[in-house]
Amino acid sequence: MPRRPSLTHLQLASAALDVVDRDGLAGLTMRAVAAQLGVSTMGLYRYVQDRDELEELVVETVLGEIDTDPPGPGDAASWREQLTVMARRLRDTVGTHPSTVPLALTRRYRSTAIMRWSETVLAILAGAGIDGERRVIALRSLLAYAIGAIQLEHLGGPSGLDALATVPSSAVSSEFPFLADSAAAAAGVTRDDEFVGGVALLLDGLTP
């Protein structure tokens, strides 16, 4: 069995991640990644079937950085706090590589990292006495909320709140009075407040 492979999947993934972080998602090209590695373009196809598989690798790498250990009772006493920590970890980790957000969230992925995250969340929910279908819905809701919130945060809030806060044109104000009003109120809400606030709503809903 002559000639060992000279690259590892991990090298591939982090090279690709470097490219994305530097040149944005549009810059993620087989040629660019190959150049980053000092390898010929086609060399990549030794390690990856497809450009698709390369993207999957990037996503897995990013998601793999999520700390999925159960939050120790030291860090967070109540299950509410523990779930908040988990949600934050997901958001903060993905937020470290903003350009990969569309990738991570659009891709049809069956990520083991997300499965580990889900497993820990389910364990916390179980500890809170939430079971059966109720627990299924809780997990999906938390995940759905986190995904959507990350997206809104990084792709420019389509609610228009941010934009309206900076440019409250009177035309907009008259057609969307509530939106204009909310834009003003939104000025006092940080991204973090917003994210954690939404998590709190869900958790309130879970609390009997």
> Footprint of a second copy on this chain (CB under 8 A)?
102, 105-111, 114-116, 118-119, 122-123, 126, 131-133, 135-141, 143-149, 151-152, 155-161, 163, 176-179, 181-182, 185-186, 188-189, 193-194, 197-198, 200-206
Q: Which does 205 bind (CB under 5 to 8 A by kind): DNA, a second copy, none?
A: a second copy
Q: Which does 126 bind (CB under 5 to 8 A by kind): a second copy, DNA, none?
A: a second copy
Site membership for DNA, residue 52 (CB under 7 A): yes
Dihedral of the CA atoms 12, 13, 18, 19 (nearest 10)?
Answer: 70
Q: Which stretch binds DNA (CB under 7 A): 13-21, 49-57, 119-127, 144-152?
A: 49-57
Interface pick for DNA out of 13, 16, 17, 39 (rule CB under 7 A): 39
Least spacing, CB of residue 141 vs DNA, in Å? 35
Interface pick for DNA out of 24, 50, 102, 200 (rule CB under 7 A): 50
Site membership for DNA, residue 145 (CB under 7 A): no
Least spacing, CB of residue 30 vs DNA, in Å? 4
Residues making contact with DNA (CB under 7 A): 1-7, 28-32, 39-43, 45-46, 50-52
